[in-house]
Structure 1
């Protein structure tokens, strides 16, 4: 029986090669997630962590535009992103 000795350099090379292969697999298999153009009320509430009343107030005062079709209310995903980006606060550095 032959004994092979592994060095730290061998392990480091193996680690680098393994991580590279994993990155390639993840990038190859990862589906490009395309968000839906129109999202429903419950999805907006979950996404932003809002109560039903708060979301209704945002509709009423014009903070967030919406489209009503029958009894369903839809929101434009891009409008939600713009709202989020517009309310970003600068980081205070001390």
Structure 2
């Protein structure tokens, strides 16, 4: 036979689950900030700057845009992309 849970007890359980979810979210945000920077891959940078793969390669070769290579994949700091854009700003 199944035992019935009182509504108050059930509400307390749901409240605890909600609290735990909030703690997990806060912990996740805290841990993600440890990287201290958003990193973008080639595709994201090409889309942001509206440039071709070859143009991005030229930017790397000329050291106009710093990058990091991990396991054959290239990443760029979002702040470096932002600084590159600001460098060309004529405002």
Same fold (TM over 0.5): yes
1:55 alignment partner in structure 2: 56
Q: Please identify which structure carries the higher helix content.
A: 2
2:31 alignment partner in structure 1: none
Aligned partner of residue 74 in structure 1, secondary structure? strand
Q: What value does the CA root-mean-square deviation take over the aligned residues?
A: 1.6
CA offset digits 1:21-52 (Å, max 9, x no partner): xxxxxxxxxxxxxxx61010000000100000
CA offset digits 1:32-77 (Å, max 9, x no partner): xxxx610100000001000000000000000000000011000000
**Unaligned regions of 5+ residues in structure 2, if any?**
1-36
**Unaligned regions of 5+ residues in structure 1, if any?**
1-35
2:67 alignment partner in structure 1: 66
Supply the distance in 1 between the matched residues of 2:39 and 2:64 (Cα, whole angstroms): 17
1:1-94 correspondence runs (5 A): 37-90=38-91
Supply the distance in 2 between the matched residues of 1:65 and 1:79 (Cα, whole angstroms): 7
Q: Report the TM-score, using the length of structure 2 for normalisation.
A: 0.58
How far off is 1:89 after superposition?
1.6
Larger radius of gyration: 1
Q: Report the TM-score, using the length of structure 1 for normalisation.
A: 0.56
